[in-house]
C-alpha cells in the first residue's frame, strides 16, 4: 500500500457542527463558530487579541497592511527558505524583500545574518518556525528590540508549540497561523492572526472587515458604516469555522498521536545522525512541539535524491523542502541570484520531508526508516 506524504486529520465531529451552521442560518462568517473557534484559540495560546482568518496568507497580508507607510521606502528581512506566502504578502504591499541566510541545522533564520542586513529602512523581521521546531526566537527578539523594529512570526506550522511555556506566535508583535489541510489541525483552509500590541487591534479589525468599521456599528459604538482602512475579505465562512472548532476540540489527542510518530522517527534515525550520515534538529527540554513534521538533511543533493528515489520506489511519498525564494523566478526578477545566499541554496537541496500524518501507523514509520537506512548503506 502507498504511504502518503500527508492525509488531512478528521476528528469525527465536523459534520455535526457543519449541520448546526444550517440550523443557525448564518453562513458567510463571523458568527457562532467563528467566536467559538476564536475563544478556544485565545485560551489555548493565552493571547487576548486573535482574529480568525481564511488563511495564514491573509493573516500575513493584514500585518503587511498594518505596517506599510506608503510615504516611505520600507524593507523587511525574511528567510528565503520558506513558502511563497511569507514573501508575497509583503511584496504586494510594496515592501522591499531582504532575504537572509538560515542556520543549516534548523533551516531557520540565522540571527547573525539578520543583524548584518538591517538598515534605516528596515521595518520588521519576519521569522518562520519550520516543521514544528522553533527558530532562535530569543536572539531574534533581542535584535528587533535593539533596532526598534517589529517582529512578525510566521507560525504557519507552529500552532500549539511552546517555548518555555509561552506559545509560538505570541512572542513577536504579530503571529500568523495556518489551518490548511496539510497542517496538524485544519478547516480545509483557514488561519489566525495574533496581535500583541493593543494599539493595532482596531486597525487590524477594520482591515479584517474589508476596511470598514462594521464591528463598531454592530456593537453600537458608532452609528455610521464607513470605509476607514484599505482592507480585504479576510475571514472564513461559518462552515470553515465550524470545521475548525471540531478540530480544536480534538487537539490533545491529535498531538499525542503525532508525538508517538515523531518519537519513532527520532529513535530509528538517531544513530545515523550520530554518525553524521544525516542531520535533523532536536527539541530542547524547555520546548514543547506540536510535532508538525519530520525532516532530514543529507550531506549532498545527490544523497538526498538517492534516498527520495528509493522511498518512491517503495511506494512512499517523500518530498524536498522549499525551493529557495531568492533563486525562484520571482526572486531572480528582484535582482537576486543563486549566489546571493549560498548557505540556503546548498542546504535546501539536501532537505527531505518524510510522510507525517495522524493516519500513519508505527509500523509504517519503522518501514520507512528501514528503507532510509538501506538506501544509505547503513544496516547496523
The per-residue DSSP string of 67-105 comes to: H--TTS--EEEEESSS-HHHHHHHHHTTPEEEEE-EETT
* CA neighbor of 179 nearest in space, from 97, 292, 334, 282: 292
Distances (CA, A) of 342 to 64, 80, 99, 106, 244: 28, 11, 12, 16, 40
Distance CA 157, CA 344 (A): 20
- The confidence band for 217, taking pLDDT boundaries of 50, 70 and 90, is low
**Per-residue pLDDT at 246:** 98
Average pLDDT over residues 269-288: 95
**302: buried, middle or exposed (CB in 10 Å: 19+, 13-18, 0-12)?**
exposed
Which residues neighbour 130 within 8 Å (Cβ) at sequence distance 6 or greater?
Answer: 81, 82, 106, 107, 108, 157
C-alpha atoms less than 13 angstroms from C-alpha of 330 in its C-beta half-sphere: 14
Residue 223 has pLDDT above 90, yes or no: no
Residue 105 has pLDDT above 70, yes or no: yes
DSSP H helices in the chain: 14-24, 32-45, 56-67, 84-92, 111-116, 137-147, 201-208, 214-218, 238-249, 251-274, 301-313, 329-333, 342-348, 362-375
Average pLDDT over residues 106-112: 97
* Residues 255 and 247: beta-carbon distance below 8 Å: no
**Per-residue pLDDT at 308:** 97
pLDDT in tens, 302-358: 999 999 999 999 999 999 999 999 999 999 999 999 999 999 999 999 999 999 999
The verdict on domain 251-375 having CATH code 3.90.1150.10 is yes
- The confidence band for 55, taking pLDDT boundaries of 50, 70 and 90, is very high
Q: Which residues pair with 287 in a beta bridge?
A: 163
**SS3 for 46?**
coil
- The confidence band for 215, taking pLDDT boundaries of 50, 70 and 90, is confident
**Per-residue pLDDT at 214:** 76
Q: Which set of grid coordinates corresponds to residue 33? A: 463558530
Residue 380 has pLDDT above 70, yes or no: no
**SS3 for 320?**
strand
Q: Which set of grid coordinates corresponds to residue 280? A: 535533523
Q: How far apart are the first and last CA of the chain?
A: 27
Domains of the chain by residue range: 14-249, 251-375
The verdict on domain 14-249 having CATH code 3.40.640.10 is yes
Please state whether beta strands 319-320 and 287-288 pair in parallel, antiparallel, or not at all (unpaired).
unpaired
Residue 41 has pLDDT above 80, yes or no: yes
**252: buried, middle or exposed (CB in 10 Å: 19+, 13-18, 0-12)?**
exposed
- The confidence band for 228, taking pLDDT boundaries of 50, 70 and 90, is confident
Please state whether beta strands 122-128 and 150-154 pair in parallel, antiparallel, or not at all (unpaired).
parallel
Average pLDDT over residues 77-99: 98
When mean pLDDT is compared across 115-119, 250-254, 298-302, 374-378, the lowest value belongs to 374-378
Residue 176 has pLDDT above 90, yes or no: yes
**120: buried, middle or exposed (CB in 10 Å: 19+, 13-18, 0-12)?**
exposed
Q: What is the mean pLDDT of the chain?
A: 96
Residue 376 has phi, psi (to 5 degrees) of: -100, 5
* Residues 43 and 248: beta-carbon distance below 8 Å: no
Average pLDDT over residues 240-265: 98
What's this model's pTM, rounded to 2 decimal places? 0.95
* CA neighbor of 110 nearest in space, from 87, 122, 128: 128
Residue 118 has pLDDT above 80, yes or no: yes
**Per-residue pLDDT at 293:** 98
Average pLDDT over residues 149-162: 98
**Per-residue pLDDT at 256:** 98
Distance CA 164, CA 186 (A): 25
**Per-residue pLDDT at 211:** 87
Residue 254 has phi, psi (to 5 degrees) of: -60, -50
Amino acid at each position: 500500500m502507498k504511504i502518503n506524504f500527508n492525509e488531512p486529520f478528521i476528528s469525527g465531529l465536523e459534520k455535526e457542527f457543519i449541520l448546526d451552521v444550517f440550523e443557525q442560518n448564518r453562513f458567510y462568517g463571523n458568527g457562532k463558530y467563528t467566536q467559538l473557534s476564536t475563544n478556544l484559540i485565545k485560551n489555548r495560546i493565552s493571547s487576548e487579541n486573535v482574529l480568525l482568518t481564511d488563511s495564514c496568507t491573509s493573516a500575513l497580508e493584514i500585518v503587511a497592511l498594518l505596517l506599510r507607510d506608503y510615504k516611505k521606502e520600507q524593507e523587511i528581512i525574511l528567510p528565503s527558505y520558506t513558502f511563497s506566502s511569507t514573501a508575497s504578502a509583503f511584496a504586494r504591499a510594496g515592501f522591499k524583500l531582504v532575504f537572509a541566510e538560515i542556520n543549516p541545522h534548523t533551516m531557520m533564520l540565522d540571527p547573525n545574518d539578520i543583524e548584518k542586513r538591517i538598515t534605516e529602512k528596515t521595518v520588521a523581521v519576519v521569522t518562520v518556525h519550520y516543521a514544528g521546531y522553533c527558530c532562535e526566537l530569543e536572539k531574534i527578539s533581542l535584535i528587533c528590540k535593539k533596532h526598534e523594529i517589529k517582529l512578525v512570526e510566521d507560525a504557519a506550522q507552529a500552532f500549539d508549540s511552546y517555548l518555555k511555556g509561552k506559545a509560538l506566535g505570541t512572542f513577536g508583535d504579530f503571529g500568523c497561523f495556518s489551518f490548511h489541510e496539510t497542517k496538524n489541525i485544519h478547516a480545509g483552509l483557514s488561519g489566525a492572526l495574533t496581535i500583541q500590541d493593543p494599539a493595532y487591534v482596531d486597525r487590524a479589525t477594520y482591515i479584517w472587515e474589508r476596511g470598514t468599521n462594521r464591528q463598531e456599528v454592530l456593537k453600537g459604538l458608532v452609528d455610521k458604516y464607513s470605509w476607514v482602512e484599505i482592507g480585504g475579505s479576510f475571514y472564513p465562512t461559518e462552515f470553515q469555522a465550524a470545521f475548525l472548532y471540531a478540530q480544536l476540540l480534538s487537539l490533545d489527542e491529535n498531538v499525542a498521536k503525532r508525538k508517538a510518530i515523531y518519537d519513532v522517527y527520532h529513535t530509528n534515525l538517531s544513530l545515523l545522525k550520530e554518525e553524521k550520515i544525516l542531520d535533523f534538529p532536536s527539541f530542547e527540554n524547555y520546548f514543547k512541539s506540536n510535532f508538525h513534521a519530520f525532516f532530514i538533511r543529507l550531506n549532498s543533493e545527490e544523497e538526498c535524491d538517492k534516498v527520495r528515489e528509493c522511498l518512491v520506489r517503495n511506494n512512499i511519498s517523500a518530498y524536498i523542502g522549499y525551493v529557495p525564494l531568492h533563486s525562484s523566478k520571482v526572486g531572480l526578477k528582484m535582482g537576486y541570484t543563486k549566489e546571493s545566499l549560498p548557505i540556503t541554496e546548498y542546504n535546501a537541496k539536501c532537505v527531505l520531508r518524510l510522510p507525517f500524518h495522524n493516519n500513519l501507523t508505527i509500523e509504517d514509520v519503522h518501514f520507512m526508516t528501514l528503507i532510509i537506512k538501506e538506501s544509505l548503506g547503513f544496516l547496523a
